[in-house]
Amino acid sequence: MSLRFVIIGGGPAGTQAATYAARLGAEVTLIERDVVGGAAHLRDCIPSKAMIATGGTLHHFSEARGMGLSTSGSTVDLPELRSRIVAITHRLAESARGLLESQGVELVRGTGRMIDAHTVTATTEDGERTFDADAIMVSTGSRPRIPDWVKPDGERILTTRDAYPPEEMPEHLVVIGSGVTGVEFVQMFSSFGSEVTLIVSRQQVLPAKDPEVAAVLEDDFLRRGVTLYKGARAVAVDRTEDGVIVRCDDGRVAEGSHALLAIGSLPNVEDVGFEAAGVEMDGPWVRTLDHHLRTNVGHIYVAGDVSGKLPLSSVAAMQGRKIAEHVMGLHKVDHRHLDYEKAASAIFTDPEIADVGLAEADAFAMGRKVRVTKVPFASSAKALINNDARGFVKIISDPATGVILGGSIVGPQAAELIAVLAVAVTNGLRVGDIAECIFVHPALSEALTDAAE
């Protein structure tokens, strides 16, 4: 008899684990209460990137004069933008469903819950169903964190999930939070023509990033007329007759037509039955005991945002794949641990920001000797042809061996270009391995071979 694997939550972690485990021969049931593909497809990554793509097109169009074009003003068609986002998410959900079904995964539309360590129930439209499980994976994702000093109303005080797009285009948006999510929302709404104020709790946007990287973004924000309230924490958000007032702890006040909260997320761990299954928690997170993401109950795993590791879709999917390998015993044959330090990530601002592995600032903080080579896109033929030569490629390597330890790219297509450095960092390649590649000319990727010299 095949191993029975039950998964609660069908985001990137759940769908990847289900597909892979089924391919390896497990009998898989995937319980999803909403849409296959998860919040990643429906509410977070995909709608936000679709909005950024539309905003980016509009913004580039408005800046197209330098390319020998004369342009007249364009505006956003909100109903069409909304339909476009729905169409993309629908298409992705359908393709995820098709893939799962083709692998023989049983898809159950309902809310899953463990009632003991080997039994999961699903509350569906047609009543309750019960499943026995040899292994269980919980990948129920996360939701926006809402502190007690603010009450989102979906109208003028928005969470990220109310903004794809909002009912009306904000005249003046106050974004609270300057991490990855916050800056992406600044980028999209300033591209749409909204006035934007950003509340930045530290002295730099993207406080966790290399200051040189953050500086390029701050320059772009200032160029777009974004107002930055640095060193200020929001402590209250109130509605006025036709807008909002955001009060900060240093006494400053930002008035706008709308406010948007982008201050992190909380894991969806309530009502999943962790207690009934005997799974130990660690505050709001599930305690995991090893890199296979096993809980204290050896055959119950957690993956994705609920695991409290690195909250990225790409990481969630890889965790799902690794768990499927472990459940099916494949780790005994051929298994590479998931190394979070080597996960590439990107911020879809303009210019894009992407990095992987060791950052220069972190190497400095650790007192580690590294070689840093940096090439600006200003010397790239393709960047000049494209009329956008902002940013740079930076490669961090070991001075003794030449092994590439990390890299940052700021500039157009950074999220695509970082793939080259991700391959290098994951596989221990040396700078010489990149320098000897013959890339296309003229192409932005040539900056990578130049930086690897």
Q: Which residues bind ligand FAD (CB under 6 A)?
A: 8-14, 31-34, 38-40, 44-45, 48-49, 111-112, 139-142, 160, 181, 268, 272, 304-306, 311-314, 316
Whichever of 11 and 376 has its CB closer to ligand FAD, that residue is: 11
CB nearer to ligand FAD: give 113 or 382: 113
Residue closer to ligand FAD (CB basis): 48 or 408: 48
Rounded to 10 degrees, the C-alpha dihedral 64/66/70/71 comes to 20
- 8 Å CB contact between 346 and 354: yes
Tokens for 129, please give them: 């169903």
Judged by DSSP in three states, 86 sits in helix
Considering beta carbons, is residue 45 or 105 the nearer one to ligand FAD? 45
Cβ at position 152, least distance to ligand FAD in Å: 14
CB nearer ligand FAD, residue 308 or residue 407: 308
Please state the length of the chain: 453
- C-alpha 57/C-alpha 62 separation (Å) is 9
Least distance in angstroms from the C-beta of 279 to ligand FAD: 14
**Residue 262 Cβ, how far from ligand FAD at the closest point, in Å?**
7
Helix, strand, coil percentages for the chain (3-state, nearest 5): 35, 25, 40
| Closer residue to ligand FAD (CB): 245 or 281 | 281
Position 321: which residue type?
Answer: R
Give the strand pairing for 253-256 and 244-248.
antiparallel
Q: How far is the CB of 139 from ligand FAD (least distance, A)?
A: 5
Beta strands in 273-430 (DSSP E): 281-282, 285-286, 300-302, 345-347, 352-357, 371-376, 392-397, 404-411
Cβ 157 to ligand FAD, closest distance in Å?
A: 17
Q: How far is the CB of 343 from ligand FAD (least distance, A)?
A: 9
Amino acid at 354: A
Q: Give the shortest CB-84-to-ligand FAD separation in angstroms.
A: 17
The pair of structure tokens assigned to 53 is 């793509």
| Closer by beta carbon to ligand FAD, 201 or else 349 | 349
What six digits make up the tokens of 378?
């200003």
C-alpha span between 134 and 334 (Å, rounded): 22
Residue 340 CB, shortest distance to ligand FAD, in Å, is 13
Closer to ligand FAD by CB, 345 or 387: give it: 345
The crossing angle, in degrees rounded to 10, of helices 180-191 and 211-223 is 20
CA–CA separation, 48 and 292 (whole Å) = 31
How many whole angstroms separate alpha carbon 355 and alpha carbon 395? 10
